[in-house]
Amino acid sequence: MARSSATPKQLLHKWVEEKESTWERGNIVKDFRKEQGIPYGRWLSPNAFGNPLQWQVLDVLGVEAKPFETYTKLLFERGYDVEKKILSILGGQQQTFVSLGKICGFCDVILDTKDWDIPLGVIPFDIKSIGGMKMKRIKSAKGADMKAILQTCFYAMALGKDDFGVIYVNADAYDIETFTYRTKDVEPLVLNEIKQFEEAMNKCEVPVFEAKEAWQKNAKYNNFKDWMDLSKEECQKKLAESGKIFM
């Protein structure tokens, strides 16, 4: 009869909970902010494109978000390992710092597609590690998520590239799907993301919650769920109570 031991699981959870978040690229971003004269709390990450405007504003203001569960942290670790493996296979120019205006980020990889079935020259790609169920949805949709599209389009804009791509990797089986897009088709959407964020910051007001995609309406996926049902006035009151201010 099998005997179940919880110790290995406990050790794994202890490791991921105690692991320090060491972001080696942090100093590059800090230097860029200093050069551009960007106060702390005024920097929008390309990773946030496609998020509800309220999430974007609360995040840069440093409002405390719902902490990640241990299981989610382990998923991130798995995703990191998978993306690292794929990058080792693809080669190319990896983790390239790019900036456009006062926004900056790191492009996962820039690849030469001259020998691909659809040659598009040297273009940026973002790599997304996902589970099997999401891979099925991606294949059915025959396209990338809008958040990934916006993020990688920003890299293409910053690099002056006409095309860009998103690579999805099924972390369960290393199945891969790749989608490419024309920069000019998505650029207006990226510029609108930036414009809406800057307008909200200039107003010095936390906007009410408005989802951009259906899944964002689910409180389960909302890191600021205590804010999602608040009125405009209630948002400003809660911000004052938090002690966070617009810079």
pLDDT digits (tens, 9 = 90+) for 51-66: 999 999 998 888 888 8
Q: Please answer whether residues 99 and 32 qualify as being in contact, where contact means their C-beta atoms are separated by less than 8 angstroms.
A: yes
Higher pLDDT, 113 or 220: 113
Q: Please answer whether residues 150 and 189 qualify as being in contact, where contact means their C-beta atoms are separated by less than 8 angstroms.
A: yes
Contacts of 246 (CB under 8 A, 6+ apart): 41, 61, 201, 204
Average pLDDT, the chain: 86
pLDDT at 116 over 50: yes
- Looking at residues 136-142, what average pLDDT do you find? 93
Would you state the pLDDT for residue 220? 85
Would you state the pLDDT for residue 10? 74
Would you state the pLDDT for residue 23? 46
pTM listed for this prediction: 0.85
Burial class (CB in 10 A: 0-12, 13-18, 19+), 97: middle
* Both structure tokens of 247: 């810079």
Burial class (CB in 10 A: 0-12, 13-18, 19+), 178: middle
State how far the Cα of 44 lies from the Cα of 60, in Å rounded to an integer. Answer: 7
Cα-flanking dihedrals φ and ψ of residue 227, to 5°?
A: -105, -15
State how far the Cα of 210 lies from the Cα of 216, in Å rounded to an integer. Answer: 9
Question: Would you identify the CATH topology of the domain 28-242?
Answer: Lambda Exonuclease; Chain A (3.90.320)
State how far the Cα of 213 lies from the Cα of 137, in Å rounded to an integer. Answer: 15
State how far the Cα of 185 lies from the Cα of 195, in Å rounded to an integer. Answer: 17
